[in-house]
Amino acid sequence: MSVKDKFLAWWKNDYKDSCPSVGGQAVMEGVMMKGPKCTAITVRKSDGKMTYITKPNKIVGQKHKWLKLPFIRGVANFVIMLYDGVKTITQSADMAGLDTGEPTKFEKRMAKIFGCKPDDVMMVTAVVLAVVLAIGLFIAVPLLVSELVEKVLSIHDPWKTIIYCVVRICLFLGYLFLCTRLKEIKRVFMYHGAEHKSIFCFEHGCELTVENARKQSRFHPRCGTSFLVIVMIISLVVALVMNALLPNDMHFLLKFLVKLLLLLPVAGISYEVLKTLGRAKDTRVVRALRWPGLMAQRLTTAEPDDSMLEVALVSLKASLGMEKPLPDSYYEAEADKAPDTEAQAEA
């Protein structure tokens, strides 16, 4: 296949590996897996038993084909990921029997106004708060620091932009480190490691067992953490270019708006880079480009125990459409509880 043919096939989103793509997300006491046709959420309840649910995948661009175009699809997937991510975590907490609290008066009032469920209002509120926090912490604060440093030390670009990006990366890594100190989040990171190990087990063609999954790496090149690292790196390049074009005396708020608007194209480019690195051959150049994201995963993943690997594998099997993803002991117990129809007929 020529370079031109490969590019055209990639543009049409047909240039894929023979192995179907599987992705996932760590949730409260479990793992969500997204297979080729359906998504599965599996959790371990407080009594130690596992339970799972499946639902058809939402296909981005099914109604609007332009959402499937490269660079645009990255932005669309990022927005959907934010909402679905919060929804999945809440759903997993309910499945595991964890207390998620009652809807607030504000959420109930908004639900009546918009004619929706209080849970939906809670999801949207959580997403909005997360976005506002991310914008404030990773855009406004670094920009403010760089402006102060410019006034105090009388420095200009490119050093000013480099300081902005260094502060941004330090805040990002510091935020992840603080998350690892929380007991509940640490368990989620362990399930995150179980998710990666299970996916690697599938991608390497191994039998989906705990023993095989345990041997796999917990660092995966298609991880959302790697995506965020790529966003940080591409933001540095884009910021250097834009600051060279924009006037130095631009107002702080205008600079903030420009950086905010640049998030969309940066997210689109980062998504394509992540997909390309995820399916590329394992060469020295590819390994070097993957390295920053994989190193950041040392903060967002942890070695899981066998019970967590078991949960991740059940979720993976369910997302692949397997009829009996749970261990055989679950189905044997159900069979023992079922009435003996032949004996009843004889009676």
pLDDT tens for 149-163 read 888 888 777 788 888
Other beta carbons within 10 angstroms of residue 43's beta carbon come to 27
DSSP for 248-274? Answer: TT--HHHHHHHHHHTHHHHHHHHHHHH
Question: Does residue 53 register a pLDDT over 50?
Answer: yes
Q: Which residue has the tokens 């594998």?
A: 313
Angle between helices 183-203 and 306-319 (to 10 degrees): 50
Q: Which residue has the tokens 């058809």?
A: 56
Q: Which residue has the tokens 């499945």?
A: 95
Whole-number pLDDT of residue 139: 86
Question: Using 50, 70 and 90 to split pLDDT, how confident is the model at 9?
Answer: low
Q: What is the pTM of this model?
A: 0.82
Mean pLDDT, residues 314-342 taken together:
80
The more confident residue out of 279 and 205 is 205
Question: Does residue 239 register a pLDDT over 50?
Answer: yes
The token pair at 257 is 């708006």
- Please tell me the distance from the alpha carbon of residue 196 to that of residue 151, in angstroms, as a whole number: 45
The more confident residue out of 62 and 296 is 296
Question: Does residue 12 register a pLDDT over 70?
Answer: no
- Please tell me the distance from the alpha carbon of residue 6 to that of residue 208, in angstroms, as a whole number: 32
117-138 core/surface letters (b: 16 or more CB in 10 A; e: else):
ebbebbbbebbeeeeeeeeeeb
- Please tell me the distance from the alpha carbon of residue 242 to that of residue 331, in angstroms, as a whole number: 60
- Please tell me the distance from the alpha carbon of residue 13 to that of residue 7, in angstroms, as a whole number: 10
The gap between the terminal CA atoms of the chain, to the nearest Å, is 70
Q: Which residue has the tokens 């975590």?
A: 89
**261 residue type, one letter:** L
Sequence spans of domains, the chain: 17-322
